[in-house]
C-alpha cells in the first residue's frame, strides 16, 4: 500500500524542456493501451469508445469485455504502474519506469496473455510525425515519475473544472475524456445540427466532425505551440470568430492554429485558476455559439450562483 503524501500543488509547473522525453514516451504508452481499448469496445459516435479517463490515481480505460471476463487497465501515476485488473480477481502490474516503448509493449501484451486476455492491435502509432511501430521503438525510453505525476495532477484538476463547465449544457455533449492519439483532454458540445460534409477528409475526421461542434481542451505541450495550453475551437468556424472578444485578457486567437488559446502558465499563476479556466471556456463557447447561431436557449442550463 502506498503512503499518503502531502497535498500537491493542483496546478504544478510543467516546463516542456524538463519533461519532453517523458511526454513523448508516455504518449506512445498511452497509445498502446488506447488501441487495446479501441479493439475491445464497439464503435461509438465521434470515436467516444476510444479515449481514456481521469481516475483517482491516473488514467483508466474503464472496464472492457473480453469474452466472459471484464478487465480494466489503469496508468497509476502515484505508485507508477500500469495496473490490469480483471473481474475474476486476477491482476498484473507493468512497472512504469525508464524503458523503451518496445519493452513496454512486450511486457503489456505478455501480461494480458498471462491473464488469458490475448489482444492484437495495429502497432503503428497515429497522429505523430515519423511513427515507429511499437515493437521496434527503442528511441522513446524516458520516464520521470515526478513529471508524469504533475501531468496527471493538471489533468485531474482540468477534468474537475471541465465537468462543471459540461454540467451547464443540456444538449448533446461528449464526456470529458483523454484522447491518446493527439494526447490531449477534451470536452465537446454539439449544436444538434449536421455539419457540411468533408469528402476530402479521412474516415476518422469525417466521423469526428459530422456535426457542428465547439470543443475545449488541454494539451500538455506537444505540437507547434510547444508549451502547455488550453484551447477552444468551433467547427465549422463562423465568420468573425477570430475577432471575437474573449476572456480572460491574456487569452488570444491563434491564426496559425485557428483556435483560441490560453497558456497553461497563465492559468496556473492566476489569482483563481479555476475561474480563469471557466471564464476562458464560457467566453469562447459564447463567441462560437453566437456567431454560428446555435439555439442557445434550448441547449443551456441557467447558470446560478
For residue 176, with 0-12 CB atoms within 10 Å meaning exposed, 13-18 middle and 19 or more buried, which class applies?
Answer: buried
Does residue 7 surpass a pLDDT of 70?
no
Q: What is the pTM of this model?
A: 0.95
Q: Residue 144 and residue 226: Cα distance in Å, rounded?
A: 19
User: Tens digits of per-residue pLDDT, 72-115?
Assistant: 999 999 999 999 999 999 999 999 999 999 999 999 999 999 99
Residue, of 207 and 91, whose pLDDT is higher: 91
Q: What is the average pLDDT across 139-150?
A: 98
CA atoms within a 13 Å half-sphere pointing along the CA-CB vector of 60: 13
Does residue 224 surpass a pLDDT of 90?
no
Q: What percent of the chain has pLDDT over 90?
A: 90
User: Tens digits of per-residue pLDDT, 19-33?
Assistant: 999 999 999 999 999
Q: Which three cell numbers stand for residue 71?
A: 478487465
User: Tens digits of per-residue pLDDT, 11-70?
Assistant: 999 999 999 999 999 999 999 999 999 999 999 999 999 999 999 999 999 999 999 999
If one counts every other C-beta atom within 10 angstroms of the C-beta of residue 155, the result is: 24
Phi/psi of residue 149, each to 5°? Answer: -65, -40
The per-residue pLDDT of the chain, averaged, comes to 95
Does residue 1 surpass a pLDDT of 90?
no
User: Tens digits of per-residue pLDDT, 277-304?
Assistant: 999 999 999 999 999 999 999 999 987 6
Q: What percent of the chain has pLDDT over 70?
A: 97
* pLDDT band for position 6 (cuts 50, 70, 90): low
Q: Residue 32 and residue 9: Cα distance in Å, rounded?
A: 29
Amino acid at each position: 500500500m502506498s503512503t499518503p503524501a502531502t497535498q500537491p500543488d493542483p496546478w504544478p509547473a510543467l516546463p516542456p524542456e524538463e519533461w519532453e522525453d517523458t511526454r513523448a514516451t508516455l504518449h506512445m504508452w498511452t497509445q498502446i493501451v488506447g488501441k487495446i481499448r479501441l479493439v475491445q469496445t464497439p464503435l461509438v459516435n465521434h470515436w467516444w469508445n476510444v479515449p481514456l479517463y481521469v481516475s483517482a490515481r491516473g488514467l483508466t480505460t474503464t472496464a472492457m469485455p473480453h469474452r466472459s471476463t471484464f478487465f480494466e487497465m489503469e496508468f497509476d501515476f502515484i505508485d507508477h504502474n500500469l495496473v490490469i485488473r480483471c473481474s475474476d480477481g486476477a491482476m498484473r502490474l507493468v512497472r512504469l519506469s525508464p524503458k523503451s516503448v518496445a519493452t513496454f509493449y512486450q511486457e503489456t501484451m505478455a501480461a494480458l496473455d498471462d491473464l488469458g486476455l490475448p489482444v492484437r492491435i495495429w502497432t503503428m502509432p497515429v497522429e505523430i510525425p515519423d511513427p515507429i511501430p511499437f515493437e521496434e521503438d527503442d528511441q522513446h525510453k524516458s520516464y520521470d515519475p515526478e513529471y508524469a505525476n504533475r501531468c496527471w495532477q493538471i489533468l485531474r484538476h482540468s477534468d474537475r473544472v471541465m465537468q462543471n463547465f459540461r454540467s451547464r449544457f443540456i444538449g448533446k455533449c461528449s464526456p470529458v475524456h483523454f484522447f491518446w492519439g493527439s494526447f490531449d483532454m477534451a470536452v465537446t458540445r454539439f449544436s444538434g445540427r449536421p455539419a457540411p460534409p468533408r469528402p476530402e477528409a479521412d474516415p476518422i475526421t469525417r466521423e469526428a466532425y459530422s456535426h457542428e461542434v465547439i470543443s475545449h481542451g488541454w494539451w500538455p505541450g506537444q505540437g507547434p505551440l510547444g508549451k502547455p495550453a488550453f484551447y477552444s475551437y468551433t467547427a465549422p468556424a463562423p465568420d468573425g470568430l477570430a475577432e471575437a472578444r474573449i476572456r480572460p485578457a491574456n487569452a488570444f486567437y491563434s491564426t496559425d492554429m485557428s483556435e483560441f488559446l490560453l497558456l497553461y502558465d497563465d492559468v496556473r499563476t492566476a489569482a483563481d485558476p479555476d475561474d480563469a479556466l471557466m471564464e476562458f471556456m464560457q467566453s469562447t463557447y459564447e463567441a462560437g455559439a453566437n456567431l454560428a447561431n446555435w439555439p442557445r436557449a434550448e441547449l443551456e442550463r441557467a447558470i446560478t450562483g
